[in-house]
Amino acid sequence: MRVYMEFAVKKFQNRLTYRLEFFMGIINTIITVVVFCSIYKALYAGTDSVDGITFQMVATNFVISLGLSNAFSFDEMFLQNKLHDGNITSELLKPVNFKFRMLWENIGEGVFKIIFYFVPAVVFCSFFMELSAPKDAVSVVLMGMSVILGYFVLWQISFIVQTWCFWLFSVWGIMTIKNVIVNILAGSMIPIWFMPPLLRKVVSYTPFEAIYFTPIRIYLGELTGSEILYSMTIQIFWIMVLYLIGDFFWKKGIRKLVVQGG
């Protein structure tokens, strides 16, 4: 485990060297949040709430979900680039698990973005718009646990798409479509509260709701007690299912690579 943590630390330290990118990341997050919240503020037009959802809840949803979506960004061309330059063979010969190496590098970058992108953006936005306070300290802790689970759900989805590069020349187009679908169905662009009942029901049977919306609902106090336990169990369920799917494609792809190499 210590070896993989070193990959995370190294990635974190590498990101610290790009100071301009650091400041641009914060500015990008703030601008995106302000634009989306301004649009919804205009749509509310002085109305206190829509279907029981206040503008304060919507603003909080955008700040948290868009902040996390920036933090939950991965090098989604990593595996494809290793295949195209031929370095995948040397990577597989190293005495480390290639998938875990990818995961921990992404974790290192994610921790960096949460500390230096997400937190500053939340602090900045809190001065200019009224955000919902957490229900209590326990909700914050449970939300943090749910955020970690949501991260692994999204990472598994990304890994599954990355493995398709064993059969496709490029997964860039599919990855772009995947990102759009995630942004919409996970609620970072359109709050799931406002989705049509049928679409919301369909989304509840997919892993997308478990990425951002579950942590946000815990933070806002919409979920309590057994509901939180159930929602986090669903997150764990999707992590396991997606892991098995990703592992299936990975093993098939590695076999194909070995055959071609032989």
DSSP class of residue 73 equals -
Burial class (CB in 10 A: 0-12, 13-18, 19+), 134: middle
> CA angle, corner 10, sides to 4 and 16, nearest 5?
145
Residue 259 has what pLDDT?
A: 45
Q: The tokens of 107 are what?
A: 């974790």
Report helix, strand or coil for 53.
strand
- Specify the amino acid at residue 114: I
Residue 210 has what pLDDT?
A: 92
Distance between alpha carbon 41 and the CA centroid of its chain, in Å?
25
CA 134, CA 218: separation in Å to the nearest integer?
Answer: 9
Q: Mind listing the pLDDT tens digit of every residue in the chain (262 residues)?
A: 777 677 677 777 676 676 666 677 677 777 777 777 777 777 777 677 777 788 788 888 888 887 787 778 777 888 888 888 878 878 777 788 888 888 888 888 888 888 877 787 777 777 777 778 787 788 889 999 999 999 999 999 999 999 999 898 889 999 999 988 988 888 877 788 888 889 888 988 999 999 999 998 898 888 888 999 999 999 999 999 999 999 999 999 888 775 444 4
Of 123, 168, 176, 150, the C-alpha closest to 234 is 150
Number of structural domains found in the chain: 1
Block residue for tokens 């007690």:
225
Residue 227 has what pLDDT?
A: 92
Q: Which domain holds residue 92?
A: 2-261
